[in-house]
Structure 1
Amino acid sequence: MTAEVLVVEDEYEIANLIEVYLTNEGFNVHKYANGKDALASIESTTFDLALLDIMLPEVDGFTLCQRIRDHYHYPIIMLTAKIEDIDKITGLTLGADDYITKPFNPLEMVARVKAQLRRYKRYNHTESTENMTVSSEKVYDFAGLYINKDKHKCFLYGKQLALTPLEFSILWYLCENKGKVVSSEELFEAVWGEKYIDNNNTVMAHIGRLREKMNEKARNPKFVKTVWGVGYTIE
């Protein structure tokens, strides 16, 4: 697996550690120590994944994440030295796909990068073949929501939604289980392919961002509903 990876980390030793491990896996690493230089690179280089430290000089990681999400769908992994849930939720709400808390095991970091890239490559492959004839398209079309799995397209009242691969996968899984209440644990393990950990706010943050893109009211959403203490359902 080869990919162009953006690494923005102002701690010299950590940045070099990430570069060494990713380079050994065949990735091309573009390393920056501040957000300003990284921002210029984002606008001129095509990346496949970004690793962003939160605390950066000049332009912080949250701002970089938001700027990337304004134009691109490639995976973003946030690096944080803090353990507060608010940092994790903020990053995920802005469009990050995952987070790693420092200090971290570099082998786990590599595994998370590979997992995100595999998901992104599958998404891109689907996009590149969307004009091919499909014998049996997987489609849900109800109440103004149209979602096509084969073409990775989603429309709400005729307007296309700009969903990240994770957001699309969440919505599709809920559509597949329409009328059923899906727990956070089931949703996380189905979409992320990893074991769910208690008090994991990842699902909640992505559901929030999905609702925001669908212009759903937080207290009374029309489509993605919360069944308190149980999980989520789509109606």
Structure 2
Amino acid sequence: MNHQVLLIEDDKELADLVSRYLSNNGLEVQVINTVGEFKAQFTQYSPDIILCDIMLPDGNGFDLFPILKKNFSCPVIFLTALDSDVSQIKGLNLGANDYLIKPIRPELLLARVNSSLRISGKGEVTKAIGPVKLDTAKRQLECFEHAISLNDDELRLLTLFMQNYPTPLSRETLFKEVIGREYDGLDRAADLKVSRLRRKIRDHGVDGLDIISIRGEGYLMQVPTQPNA
């Protein structure tokens, strides 16, 4: 069964474009245009992910967010023309999984939707490799007695590392899956995100747990085999 997307967007032309693009890429999309429509019909929906505009004609996506989280356990991505840091920080601090600025590139939207779907574990450990466990519900990496809290980028990266282990992840793959665009051969955005994740892991001092560089291939998660002494 295809994943269900609930799109809350008052711009009907944009909603139609987004709906058709996501549908053509294997997702089932249901569209509602107002807060009132959502409140009247939300019991009809069982979404796997919600895309919510912030500026709606009869309300505000930030105000609607607690209702969304109360009724659904799925990821929520805000879509908005508000590009200020304050708005983005507010949305993420509320608990949204992502925040995309309009106009939105369809390829980036699809990549972020698929990424959020992959890391929405709904209370279960996504994957375990040896002593390493990635708990998407708690948003943390667990190894021996250590528990490392993760932000969205770190959770996406570790999901990819564990899903592909022991195959290294190339920059091309990281850009497509995490950054949401093709690698141009020069951009270091993915390397920066990996570097920050590597630093956080090393700061926790778990013997044998690391993100290592493999020349000509990309990055690989190094998994410990023995507990800390």
Stretch moving more, 97-106 or 19-28: 19-28
Residue in 1 aligned with 2:103?
A: 103
Q: Which has the higher strand share?
A: 2
Could you list the runs of 4 or more consecutive aligned residues of structure 1 that deviate by over 4 angstroms after TM superposition?
Answer: 136-139, 177-186, 230-234
Residue in 2 aligned with 1:32?
A: 32
How far apart are the structure 2 equivalents of 1:191 and 1:68? 27
Counterparts in 2 of 1:71 and 1:185: CA distance versus 1, 3 Å:
closer
Counterparts in 2 of 1:119 and 1:45: CA distance versus 1, 3 Å:
same
1:231 to partner: Cα distance: 6.3
Unaligned runs of 5+ in 1: 140-148, 153-164, 204-229
Residue in 1 aligned with 2:41?
A: 41
Counterparts in 2 of 1:84 and 1:4: CA distance versus 1, 3 Å:
same
Residue in 2 aligned with 1:73?
A: 73
Check the 8 A contact 2:119/2:156 in 1, yes or no: no
Counterpart of 1:48, as a letter, is D
Counterparts in 2 of 1:93 and 1:191: CA distance versus 1, 3 Å:
farther
Pair 1:8-2:11 in alignment: no
Counterpart of 2:102, as a letter, is K
The number of residue pairs the alignment matches comes to: 173
Q: How does 1:1-235 map to 2 (within 5 A)?
A: 2-120=2-120, 123-124=121-122, 126=124, 165=136, 168-169=138-139, 172-173=140-141, 175-176=142-143, 187=154, 190-191=157-158, 194=178
Check the 8 A contact 2:73/2:122 in 1, yes or no: no
Counterparts in 2 of 1:119 and 1:187: CA distance versus 1, 3 Å:
closer
Report the aligned-residue RMSD.
4.2
Check the 8 A contact 1:81/1:101 in 2, yes or no: yes
Unaligned runs of 5+ in 2: 161-177, 180-188, 205-229
1:168 to partner: Cα distance: 1.4
